[in-house]
Structure 1
Amino acid sequence: MRCIFTKGKQKELILFARDLYGLSWREMASKLRIGSSTLRDWRDEKYLVHYRIFCKIVKAFPQCEGFRTSIIGLKEDNWGRQPGGFRTKQNSRGFFDPKYAQQQHSWKSNGGRVGLRNWHTQMKANKPGKYHQMQQEKLKKSLQYKYKYHNQKYRNILELNVAEIFTENDIRFEYEHMIKCEGKFYLPDFTLDNVILECTYWHDVEQRARELRQKIEAYAKSGFSKTIVVTIQKYKHEYSRLLQGSNTVVITSEDLREILGGRTWAGRESLLNSLPKLSTDRAPAS
């Protein structure tokens, strides 16, 4: 529950309690087991104080009991939030796996944002595979995946085009199949046996190319022989230049469609054999 104080009284309570504690904002927040930014927001009356925190302050300093008369109402924790907040995400978007709901709620109720950070930290340390799987499922249920095709959602139109090309040509693939390399987890856009296909048309080509190069190195260590980068014609040459020496081929979705369209497609292996013929901007192997 959250406390509704008469105007100005919540700020007065927080400042008075801080003087009694004799601590810095960060130290006081740590003692109350909340985030320091949360404490400052309460001081500035941006949000309502949790009733349990008010009781905690009163228990530590009975002098604060007088502020109880300034409480004019109590509201649920999610009061005043717009639709799409924590509870909506939890129930509708798979924010947390139900089997961990009780444990997560305990951490959250014991520390707010700090408790939630502890939950993420413990899950990443103790169950990294399960944690990343849960985060992936949460992301897939979010509004970032806008395009649906054959009961699968895709993030952008380029990924959708590639999925359509593969499906129309009876090419089996895995979408965002999680792989682990040296303690890190990756979600390549498409996986075909030992070949990775990444889709991108991000306008900051240099930054994206740096990220892709790191991924490509990890994929190679995990046994994937080659990475294909699918982009749009506008960025094809630039990605090819920046990814030189990474054993990568840069093509467009039109190139991919031509390869699989019948004239040059003669089996899965011919995908790699045909790429140099269609892409003069091939990033050469080192």
Structure 2
Amino acid sequence: MGALSKRAIGAALMDQHITLFACPICQQSMYVYEQGRLVCTSNHSFDIAKQGYVNMLTHNAASKYSKSLFESRKAVIDSGIYDAVEARIGELISSAKTVLDTGCGEGSHLARIMNDRDHGIGVGIDIAKEGILAAARHYPQQIWCVGDLAKSPFAQASFDAILNILSPANYEEFKRLLKPNGYLVKVVPQSGYLRELRAQLYADSNRETYSNEQIVARFQDSFREVNVERVTYTLPLSEELVPALLEMTPMGWHKAEQTAVELNEITIDVDLLVGKV
């Protein structure tokens, strides 16, 4: 017997964890039909792509994120500069069996966090199809979904843990999706995040400094048993990764063409916000 196709692998994973899903149109339960579609009891249908992901968007969604941006993001993450952050997240969610990464992009953070675990399933969702396409191509061990949390394709109280890594949040939907005593891990920049890049791009402007105080305050108002943990370190950065870093971070998108950026090290400085519903 030949190797299973990526569509078959993705469909099998979705079928194994089908109770995580709910129709984004009518919120009814779903089932996998002939390894090719997710179908709800009201007969709304969503195709499982040949790459193994499912597109559950109910509306057209233009994304500003390109294929090359996600390739750059993967290259930067694969270089290991976020290893310490990912390792700490892995420790924080060590007991979680169902993990949702919201705004997962090309899936590298979720895949690396779940990689050393002998239990549980990771589910990644992003509105950008190019990101999910890359995630499914590189990481078929997890479930990948194009979708919008404003029209959520997941069932209530389905996840032990939700990750929200350097990405916009939807707290009300997170609360709906988390199980009782489930927890959210949100990663937000601290003042020193990518400071070497910020110093060159925003020198002598009010954007050279950054504060996450408002984000932290809103998180603390939204969840209980909140813990804020800072992770900060500086690592060497190889010259060939500089263009990739510029492409993956919003800071780099506004760089004037004539602005030369030279980096030989980079600082990762983030707060891990952990809270329960």
On whether the aligned pair clears a TM of 0.5, the verdict is no
- Scaled by the length of structure 2, the TM-score of the pair is 0.25
**Larger % of strand: which?**
2
Q: Which has the larger radius of gyration?
A: 1
Q: Which has the higher contact order (CA 8 A, sep 6+)?
A: 2
